[in-house]
Amino acid sequence: MIVLLVAIFHLQCRNPSEIIILDIYSNNDSEMASSQGVSLASKFQGAIVGAVFGDCLGAKFEYFWGPMPNKPVVKYYETLINEVRSQKDGEKGFVFYTDDTCMTFDLGESLVKCKEFVPRDVARNFGETYFAAPSQRYYGANVGFIFRSTKVNDYRNPFNPAKEQFNGSGSYGNGSAMRVSPVPLFHHKDKVKIAELASHQSKLTHTNPKGINGAILQALAIEKAMTTEGIRDSVAFARELMTDLENVTTTKEELDVYDEKMKIVIKLIEQKTEVKAEDVINGGIKTDVTAHEAVPAAIFCFLYTLNEKNIPELSKFNGLVRAVIYAAAISLDSDTVASMAGAIAGAYYGIEMIPPEWIEACEGSDRALKLADGLYKLHKNNKEAV
């Protein structure tokens, strides 16, 4: 009977489970993740809230504007900072997030609740959130088809519709990479398991090798940013990341595409003059809705903005803000590239680098902090159990 109940729980995983929330700004935990003096708890929060911050900021510029200079994004960023400061009643969450954040919550909250990846539970979260979503979430049309198909059987066969999409070749959109930030936190310090889970969750919506490897590369970038002590060599970081992908992915098809894109990332990092949006796109990274264009773009934005001298116009901001503003400006798929760059940068710099005004302004910040703390608690419990 007990076995049966456990089996039902794992299949459904619908029971609420307690998430203990840490004191979010105290960082009183002793486990330090890098020589920068940023705690691991802060990095967990930085990764998830950074993803939401990028989504909220980038959503304003998604496709409607195209790649552009930094100036309009800086103006928007500062306008909202001032708006929060001038508010007397402290209105929160008035800048909306989009599908990127919806699906990050759907995946991450299921992992925390179930303490393992339960595909049907994640698929159900995806579907329920999608069907209840207001129009400003801007879901892609193709993923909507998958949610409608999985709902027909009450999410019992959650992998089938994605597998059959596009005559069986599957999607290589960036959707399974944009939501992947909970994965490196769930399996922190285990790249093989990170790759397995990034791949597994991708197959709920994106089964094309380019889509799967995009999710793995983004997850590995977050993990590497979280565990690297003061990045001094961006080119080496990019090279090692590609080697990590080649070593841990079990999807070996079309890895050349990522190798080619990461070589362009390195070329752009080494460019002598300031890299503008047109340099990125003309150089061969289109920053669009496909995984192999968006994930390398996000990695580039993080690495290029490490050095405050690279973009003088952004030098007054901290590194995390530089990464997010720059990604929103140069990208076609602004919300997603900024969200992924924000997740990588947040994992590196920690929550303290996300301006409190933006935490106030972004819809979903509290929920993101709660999710990060739930994942951190799981990490701590797993560590103690070993």
- Residues in contact with Mg ion by CB under 5 A are 98-100, 335
Nearer to Mg ion among residue 100 and residue 360 (C-beta):
100
Q: What share of the chain is helix, strand, coil (3-state, %, to 5)?
A: 65, 0, 35
Task: For residues 243 and 216, give the distance between their C-alpha atoms in angstroms, rounded to a whole number.
Answer: 12
Task: For residues 57 and 97, give the distance between their C-alpha atoms in angstroms, rounded to a whole number.
Answer: 8
Minimum separation from the CB atom of position 343 to Mg ion (A): 13
Residue listed under structure tokens 């799967």: 212
Strand partners, 95: 362
Task: For residues 221 and 273, give the distance between their C-alpha atoms in angstroms, rounded to a whole number.
Answer: 25
- Can you tell me whether residue 198 is helix, strand or coil? helix
Minimum separation from the CB atom of position 168 to Mg ion (A): 26
Who contacts 198 (Cβ-Cβ below 8 Å, separation ≥6)? 176, 180, 183, 212, 215, 216, 218, 219, 220
Minimum separation from the CB atom of position 187 to Mg ion (A): 25
Q: Is 162 exposed, middle or buried (0-12, 13-18, 19+ CB in 10 A)?
A: buried
Minimum separation from the CB atom of position 18 to Mg ion (A): 30
Nearer to Mg ion among residue 98 and residue 208 (C-beta):
98
**Phi, psi torsion values for 308, nearest 5 degrees:** -65, -20
Largest CA distance in the chain: 68
Minimum separation from the CB atom of position 97 to Mg ion (A): 8
AA letter at 127: G
Minimum separation from the CB atom of position 100 to Mg ion (A): 4
Residue 304: closest CA among 289, 326, 285 = 326
What is the DSSP annotation of 186-227?
HTTT-HHHHHHHHHHHHTTT--SHHHHHHHHHHHHHHHHHHH
Minimum separation from the CB atom of position 182 to Mg ion (A): 17
